[in-house]
C-alpha cells in the first residue's frame, strides 16, 4: 500500500515539473530562448559575430564591377569595404539574381543589397533602407545611328526593349505598356542591344555614362531620353539596425570628404547627395 502511494506521488511530481515555467531546466531553457531572441534582434551583432558583411550585388559599373585582377571595385564596392572595416569585419561580395534580392536577404544568404538600388515603394516596404546617397534616372539606350529617331516617349511604342528583371527599368517600361524582354542583369540588356536581338534597353543613367559611348566597350550605343528621376539606397533586412549605422557612416564619410573622393574616382560626384 505504501509503495502504491509513493508511486502516485512521484508521478504527480513529475507531471508538475513538465508544466510550462515549472522546474529549473524549463525555466533556464525559457531564459535562454528569450536571450537568443534578443541577440538575434540586432543585425549588427549578427554580422559582427560571424565576422563578415555579405553584400549582394550584380555586375554594374561604376557601382560594382571587377578589375583586371578579378577583384570587386566601384563606388558601392569601395564604400562597402570601408563600412565593413568600420564594423571590424571582412566584406564578401555575392552576385545575386536581382529579381530575388529580397528572398536572398531574408534567407540570410546576404546581409545587404548594395548595388545602385533604386528606392522604390516596393523596395522600402520589403527592406530596411538607408537614406538616399546618389541621384539617378532610367534612360533609353539605342544604337547611335538611329538615336535621332527616338527623342521622345511617343517614338518608343514600336521598340522591343531589354531590361533587368526586377529593376526600376522594368517597372518604367511595364508602366508604359512597352514590349520588353526581362534579362538577368543590366549588362545583359546592353549586350542584347549591341547584338541586335533587342531594339533598345532601359538602364540606370550612371551605368550608361560609364559603359556606353566613345572609349567604352559599346561605342556604337548611346542614350537618349530619361524616363524618370530616382535615388539610390542600401537595403538591409526589415528592422535591421545596420541601416542606421550605415546612415551614420555616410554622414561621417561625407563630412570628412572620403565619400566625395570615392565618388570622384568613379566619376559619379555630380550625382552625390549631401549627407
* Residues 145-204 pLDDT 10s: 999 999 999 999 999 999 999 999 999 999 999 999 999 999 999 999 999 999 999 999
Compute the CA torsion angle 160, 163, 166, 170 (nearest 10 deg). -50
Q: Distance (Å, rounded) from C-alpha 161 to C-alpha 158?
A: 10
Query: So what CATH class is 138-228?
Result: alpha beta
Q: Distance (Å, rounded) from C-alpha 251 to C-alpha 244?
A: 11
Q: What was the pLDDT predicted at 41?
A: 72
Nearest to 183 by CA among 205, 76, 197, 175: 197
Q: What was the pLDDT predicted at 59?
A: 93
The radius of gyration of the chain's CA atoms, rounded to the nearest angstrom, is: 26
Cell of 227: 524616363
Instruction: Note whether 224 and 140 are within 8 A (CB).
Output: yes
Q: Which portions of the chain are predicted below pLDDT 70?
A: 1-40
Helix (H), strand (E) counts: the chain = 11, 13
Bridge partners of residue 113, in order along the sequence? 56, 235
CATH 3.40.190.10-classified regions of the chain: 45-135+231-271, 138-228
Instruction: Note whether 117 and 232 are within 8 A (CB).
Output: yes
Tell me how many degrees the CA angle 186-187-193 measures, rounded to the nearest 5.
95
Over the stretch 187-196, which tens digit does the pLDDT of each residue have?
999 999 999 9
CA distances to 89, 101, 146, 191, 196 from 223, in Å: 40, 27, 11, 14, 16
Instruction: For residue 239, count other CB atoms closer than 10 A to its CB.
Output: 11
Q: State the fold for domain 45-135+231-271.
A: D-Maltodextrin-Binding Protein; domain 2 (3.40.190)
Task: Kindly state the DSSP code that residue 22 receives in the 8-state scheme.
Answer: -
Q: What was the pLDDT predicted at 40?
A: 53
Amino acid at each position: 500500500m505504501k509503495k502504491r502511494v509513493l508511486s502516485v506521488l512521484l508521478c504527480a511530481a513529475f507531471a508538475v515539473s513538465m508544466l510550462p515555467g515549472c522546474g529549473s531546466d524549463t525555466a533556464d531553457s525559457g531564459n535562454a530562448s528569450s536571450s537568443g531572441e534578443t541577440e538575434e534582434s540586432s543585425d549588427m551583432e549578427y554580422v559582427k559575430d560571424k565576422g563578415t558583411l555579405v553584400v549582394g550585388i550584380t555586375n554594374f559599373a561604376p557601382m560594382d564591377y571587377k578589375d583586371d585582377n578579378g577583384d570587386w571595385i566601384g563606388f558601392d564596392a569601395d564604400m562597402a569595404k570601408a563600412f565593413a572595416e568600420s564594423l571590424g569585419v571582412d566584406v564578401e561580395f555575392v552576385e545575386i539574381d536581382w529579381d530575388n534580392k529580397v528572398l536572398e536577404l531574408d534567407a540570410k544568404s546576404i546581409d545587404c543589397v548594395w548595388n545602385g538600388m533604386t528606392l522604390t515603394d516596393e523596395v522600402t516596404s520589403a527592406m530596411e533602407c538607408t537614406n538616399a546617397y546618389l541621384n539617378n534616372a532610367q534612360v533609353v539606350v539605342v544604337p547611335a545611328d538611329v538615336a535621332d529617331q527616338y527623342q521622345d516617349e511617343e517614338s518608343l511604342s514600336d521598340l522591343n526593349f531589354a531590361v533587368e528583371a526586377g529593376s526600376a527599368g522594368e517597372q518604367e517600361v511595364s508602366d508604359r505598356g512597352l514590349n520588353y524582354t526581362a534579362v538577368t542583369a543590366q549588362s545583359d540588356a546592353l549586350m542584347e542591344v549591341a547584338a541586335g536581338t533587342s531594339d533598345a534597353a532601359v538602364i540606370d543613367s550612371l551605368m550608361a555614362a560609364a559603359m556606353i559611348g566613345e572609349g567604352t566597350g559599346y561605342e556604337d550605343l548611346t542614350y537618349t531620353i530619361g524616363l524618370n528621376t530616382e535615388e539610390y539606397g542600401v537595403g538591409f533586412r526589415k528592422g535591421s539596425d545596420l541601416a542606421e549605422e550605415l546612415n551614420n557612416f555616410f554622414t561621417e564619410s561625407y563630412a570628412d570628404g572620403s565619400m566625395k573622393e570615392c565618388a570622384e574616382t568613379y566619376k559619379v560626384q555630380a550625382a552625390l547627395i549631401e549627407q
